[in-house]
Structure 1
Amino acid sequence: MRWGIVGFGWVARDYMAPGIAASGGTLVAIADPSPMAQASAMSGGILAYDTVEAMLADAALDCLYVATPNNLHADPVRAAVAAGVPVLCEKPIAATLDDAETIGAAVTGHLYGTAFDQRHHPAHRAMAQAIRDGAIGRPIAVRIVYACWVDPTWSPSSEGGGCNWRADPAAAGGGAVIDLALHGLDLAAMLVDEPLDRLHIDLQRRIHDYPVDDGGILSGRTAGGILVQSHVAYNCPEVLPRRRLEILGEDGLLVATDTMGQTEGGTVMRRCARTGDETALPFHTALSPFAAQAAAFAAAVRGDAHDFSIDRDLSLMRLFDAAYTKARSCL
């Protein structure tokens, strides 16, 4: 499977590119106007282009991964559709709901996926299967903590300082909440196999001096009445516990520690509601969510059954946008 990447920043370079290789694919080309990004790609024998149009015209791609800043997703997605190339686009779909709706209309009838990599993490897939198998009885609540430290000057060291577009409201569409929370909301719905139909958000700008939120609490419920709670933040020191996922059921509790994030591994434990006994839930600890996601999208390109859905992702974006817009008016 021949992949191209638009936007060769740290996530694409350090996580998706290795994920493509681990899935059996080949990253053949990138499109990024940055000389640093192009030099990084070419040092690994990867073709580098200034524009996605040039890359699509020349590189004979099977699929495309879009990892630009959020406000720049639409043009590469439309270019991929025009070229007939399946496209996997980073979350959120776009920085604004209007742009997300535009992308949704553009990809009608075309293979498109939003890169919610957490739904592909082997630990989370194992938890979803355990829930389907009745390991905790009827689910009652999903509780998430997903936090990190992103200050105003944050940047991957190889890119230098001053390029933290994630704290730029125009480029990102918001702050910590739009960056981190959608992963958890999508994951919660996947785990319990029910869409969210209610959502409330409270925001804070507590620690960092930038124009976006540095943390938030989200609470909601699914169509069937399962409660969902998520604390996401850019203001949590990374030596502290900051990645935890719990699914409470009438017969037990599943607890995942250090599975939320870009890397492989972590642990999942099941605690019995009757005895209190704990048992480990096995999963593929050496497979990263990016590798699993790349494999899943490649399988979809080959025509296999898949769970990528623009309709589902747009429904979540609409629900999120309504709650986020209201929350920002009170920040």
Structure 2
Amino acid sequence: MSTPDDQTDPRTGWVIAGAGWVARDHMAPALAASATSRVVAVVDRDLAAARALAARFPGAVAHDDPATAFATPGAQVAYVATPNHAHREVAVAAAEAGLAVLCEKPLAADLDDAAALVQGCERAGVVAATAFDQRFHPAHEVVAEMVARGDLGTVTAVRIVYACWLPPGWAPPGSTTGDNWRVDPVRAGGGAYVDLAPHGLDLVGTLLGEDVVTATTHLQHRVHDYAVDDGSVLVGSTSSGVLVTISNSFNTVETLPRRRLEIVGTAGQLVATDTMGQDAGGRVEFLDATTGESRDVEFDRETSPFTGELRALEAAVTGGGDWRFPMSRDLRLLRLLHGALTVQETRPAEARR
């Protein structure tokens, strides 16, 4: 039951489900800085982690039971940031409690769980979204406007490189457990491909206004000794024929260039560097096909993509606005991602033959 204060507080009440790295270091700061948001509860199976994160938000309570957390007075939105294999159970529980759902990507560790998650949210009739924060990076929003305006002429290709260095013993900053679940095939559902490629697939559709509809992927097991892939390349096409390549890896050293987006058109080319990721900033350059000259494209370099994401979701939940990215579309792209996998995989022993 809500208290009088809960009923009169105009801010959107959030429950953070999963007190790990992305929630703690990226979503939590965005929520703390937002004048329209408040965190009412944090839930994690590690109660100490939940308490530590809840302590950053006045009045927030900590729990190790999702149902209890979702019943917190004032709760309106659940941000689900658990390991991938736990998404379905937690997201559906939140939806059944009447909360809107913002679920981290990928939707689940396997397609059956992802479909069940989407069906559960649809059955509950709540606003449900996948946390593709890069949709809301200010640089990408400006890029989408330029593409829609025709500044690039006929778009012919999109090329994405999104990579990082993730050795077997990696642990998120501030981790107290040292648990690198992102390379656990059961909990993550895959490696670099499943973790990073969904961002690229979603972003292509967001920027172009049309999704990739056919794709083939090759996986790589080249550097790190773990069960999942440490690299991948997806090659695909949109319905109108734009060619798309998305290269991802867990084996690119951090000192090397590793985040680049290129959109090629008949009138020009956009090159964005260091805009793919969780942070604000980066650079966007436009190369004019007629003159050959280049110029920097201006955009808001201060606002985090997580801030844009929560603003858009709150507008849909409390302001009656539309959520432009139905979760059914996210599921369709996840199915494409899994269906694009080929039999061929590059492994160190094979590469030396």
TM-score per shorter chain, which class? over 0.9
Which residue in 2 is equivalent to 1:16? 27
Larger mean Cα displacement after TM superposition, 190-199 or 156-165: 156-165
Question: Residues 194 and 228 of structure 1: is their aligned pair in 2 closer, same or farther, counting only changes over 3 Å?
Answer: same
Contact 1:100 1:314 in 2 (8 A): yes
Contact 2:221 2:346 in 1 (8 A): no
Aligned AA (1:246): E
Contact 1:41 1:47 in 2 (8 A): no
Question: How many aligned positions are there?
Answer: 330
For 1:75, what is the secondary structure of its paired residue? helix
Tell me if 1:182 matches 2:198: yes
Which residue in 2 is equivalent to 1:30? 42
For 1:312, what is the secondary structure of its paired residue? helix
Tell me if 1:173 matches 2:189: yes
Which residue in 1 is equivalent to 2:265? 249
Larger mean Cα displacement after TM superposition, 154-163 or 181-190: 154-163
Give the counterpart of 1:97 among 94, 111, 114: 111
Same amino acid, percent of matched pairs: 46
For 2:26, what is the secondary structure of its paired residue? helix
Q: Distance in 1 between matches of 2:46 and 2:291?
A: 57
Give the counterpart of 1:314 among 321, 331, 339: 331
Structure 1 residue 162: deviation in Å? 3.5
Give the counterpart of 2:53 among 17, 27, 41: 41
- Which consecutive residues of structure 2, in runs of 5 or more, have no partner in the other structure? 1-11, 348-353
Question: Residues 144 and 288 of structure 1: is their aligned pair in 2 closer, same or farther, counting only changes over 3 Å?
Answer: same
Which residue in 1 is equivalent to 2:248? 232
Tell me if 1:199 matches 2:199: no
Q: What does the per-residue CA deviation read over 1:50-102, in whole Å, with 9 as the maximum and x for residues that have no partner?
A: 11101112242111100000000011111111111100000011110011111
Larger mean Cα displacement after TM superposition, 280-289 or 8-17: 280-289
Tell me if 1:138 matches 2:149: no
Which residue in 1 is equivalent to 2:6? none
Point out the structure with max Rg over C-alpha: 2
TM-score (norm 2): 0.90
For 2:52, what is the secondary structure of its paired residue? helix
Structure 1 residue 329: deviation in Å? 7.3
- The structure showing larger relative contact order (alpha-carbon pairs under 8 Å, at least 6 residues apart) is 1
Structure 1 residue 107: deviation in Å? 1.4
Which residue in 2 is equivalent to 1:295? 311
TM-score (norm 1): 0.96
Structure 1 residue 160: deviation in Å? 4.0
Which residue in 1 is equivalent to 2:101? 87
Q: Distance in 2 between matches of 1:157 and 1:261?
A: 16
Q: Distance in 2 between matches of 1:114 and 1:313?
A: 7
Contact 2:100 2:128 in 1 (8 A): yes
Contact 1:150 1:234 in 2 (8 A): yes
Aligned residue runs from structure 1 range 146-157, under 5 A: 146-157=162-173
Larger mean Cα displacement after TM superposition, 33-42 or 61-70: 33-42
Q: Distance in 2 between matches of 1:328 and 1:76?
A: 35
Q: Distance in 2 between matches of 1:50 and 1:266?
A: 38
Query: Which stretches of structure 1, 4 residues or more, deviate above 4 A after TM superposition?
Result: 327-331
Contact 2:221 2:345 in 1 (8 A): no
For 1:311, what is the secondary structure of its paired residue? helix
Which residue in 1 is equivalent to 2:92? 78
Q: Distance in 1 between matches of 2:34 and 2:218?
A: 38
Tell me if 1:60 matches 2:74: yes
Question: Residues 269 and 166 of structure 1: is their aligned pair in 2 closer, same or farther, counting only changes over 3 Å?
Answer: same
Aligned AA (1:122): P
For 1:169, what is the secondary structure of its paired residue? coil
For 2:150, what is the secondary structure of its paired residue? coil
Q: Distance in 1 between matches of 2:138 and 2:164?
A: 22
